Chains A and B, each alone.
Chain A
Amino acid sequence: MMASLWQYVLSGVVDGAIFALVAAGFVLIYQVTGLINFAQGEFAMIGAMTAAALATAGMPTLAAAGIAVLAAAVVGALCYLLAIRPARKSTGVTLIFITLGLDVALRGLALFVWGTNPLSLNAFSSGNAIALFGGALPPQAMWVLGSDVIVFAALYLFFRHTYAGTAVRAAVANPPIASTFGIPLRTFAFWSFVVAAAIGGLGGVMIAPITSATYDMGLTLGLAGFVAAVLGGLDSLPGALVGGFVLGIVEHVAGGLWSTGWEQGVGFLILVLVLVLRPQGLLGRATRRA
């Protein structure tokens, strides 16, 4: 029983790491623009599908993965330039509906380009499963966890130890006053979409060897990423990391102990509890602007 439970936790950690990457995209865009981008999961799908399609066409796996992350970033840039920026003076609700429209459009585009058949992608490294205290992790899990470490460390260093990162934090704290000092709010909004899309794309690329890639995987990943982001606190990148892992572990343990039908249900139950007991999320701030 305990051995099974430990294995569920390990599997949850791998999924949680992917949820954390998607959640980081949600948080990044929300922090910089105040917008919840419901198309975030589709960036992961673009990453996964592009990498799998290129690898299937004969490209080396790592090269395909790199190009896929770039492709997701380009799609993120286009989403901002073509859909969000022209409507930037609209109300928040309108913008959220635009992101929902983008979500549907990107999924439709993927269906048109790649069809309904799942595409597979080889693991980035071969070898046996890694034994860990009686449980086992697939070799690809190390790539997934390594991606989390690199992405979150890079984001931390950028925001805390660079001039541009400090300027982004200033813009988040007080946008109109930041603009009077020449801090370019729109440029930051653009880059938040590009970076969030690249991070989402990386998440998709990393999980594709484990789950395979499908045109509609963005819906599930987007929903999980959103729940993880809200769990952790929409304005907190460490919260996205914690929220992702909590959600991944809870889903897998619930699914393993009871049935897979419980997975998402328990995740949402935790979300409701957190929203009732601590609306700002596990690591979010109660008030976010000066």
Chain B
Amino acid sequence: MEFITIVLSGVLIGAATYLILSKSVLRIIIGISVLSHGIHLMLLTMGQLKRGNVPILEDSVTNYTDPLPQAMILTAIVISFALTAFSLVLALRNYKVLGSDDTETMKGAQNEN
């Protein structure tokens, strides 16, 4: 099971790399969110994939799952949510001011202010 999720996260990260390297701003943003999904999946796999009880609450529990990777993923999801929202706003603003969503036009010139 772990093997499949690791391969899956590899596929996601590969797809994200392809998207981030493209020229359209929107594709880059989609690529960023796909990248974070791939990495969260990897993080989930790191805590071993198994079913178990809630730890700590009761002393008698023996077969429990590790809560820490899940807590970390939750935090990372919240952060990537905020980042995606912010980058969408920035992309929109960029589109309005620069009039294009192509990164070719975002090169900039020498010696400008």
A binds B: no
